[in-house]
Structure 1
């Protein structure tokens, strides 16, 4: 199995999740941070694609949106996993997940995950700190990073993976 993880990580939380996830997925796994690297590979080379990002100002990163829009047809034919890092919990987190990923991709996904989030104030600019404080009431670093959710996602992904014709 050859898998690709495509993600964006603004302050490092999603990158941390991808690092843990990558170790748990069966087969060869390549991770590409769209904030740092352009995707030069043909998606047809991969059996599986996982897409992840985080919520900032109520929306997933624009590079992730663009990637999903440009490759939606191919992604629907892959073993697809979708994950989101966000500070919301429960119903609010599920609503953010639904607004982050197109319905066709959500329906095609063999694994979906909400990995929690973090407010790392030392990595935020002034504007981000104001928003984080208004959302959480906190002014110090806050973590709701969910390792168990990452392990559950990896287990579901490995278990539901199908070998697709090339």
Structure 2
């Protein structure tokens, strides 16, 4: 079986998590950054994993556009969804369900939050100011949830 992982990453956390998921999967895996590829042939994949990061409650538009464009094909495959965010755990389910099409969240074998990062040294000035003010974070902070990644991989294998 072939697996496709598509993702969009603003500062690198989602890309790190996508690579960790790829490492754990047993099949042939293609990893595609949606910012670099426009058209994707899904016909050669039996599984598709979609990941994105959440900023101010929203996933990147390029991830939403991918889900909308390929929704009918995605509904015919095994699907896993993940997000990366530095959020309170109690709103993660809401964000997972609100940032992907309803049909896709209902079809997905797993929907998971894989953690997040605040990488202040990579952030734009505006993003850095918002993070410092809202989250009270003043240094780089990493919270990638390896146990959740391992659980995600186990289900998708």
Q: TM-score range by the shorter chain?
A: over 0.9
Structure 2 counterpart of 1:4:
4
Partner of 1:164: none
Provide the secondary structure at the position in 1 that maps to 2:21: helix
Contiguous gaps of at least 5 residues in structure 1: 159-166
Q: Provide closer, same or farther for how the CA distance between residues 44 and 156 of structure 1 changes in structure 2, counting only shifts above 3 A.
A: same
Q: How does 1:122-141 map to 2 (within 5 A)?
A: 122-141=121-140
Number of residue pairs matched?
157
Taking the aligned partners of 2:144 and 2:117, their CA distance within structure 1 comes to 6
Tell me what 2:61 maps to. Answer: 62
User: So what's the TM-score if we normalise by structure 2?
Assistant: 0.96
Helix, strand or coil for the counterpart of 1:144?
Answer: strand
CA–CA separation in structure 2 for the residues paired with 1:33 and 1:135:
29
Task: Determine helix, strand or coil for the equivalent of 2:10.
Answer: coil
Q: RMSD of the alignment, in Å?
A: 1.1
Q: Give structure 1 regions of 4+ aligned residues with deviation exceeding 4 angstroms.
A: none
Residue pairs, 1:81-160, within 5 angstroms: 81-158=80-157
Pairwise CA distance, 1:130: 1.5
Unaligned runs of 5+ in 2: none
CA distance in 1, matches of 2:89, 2:123: 25
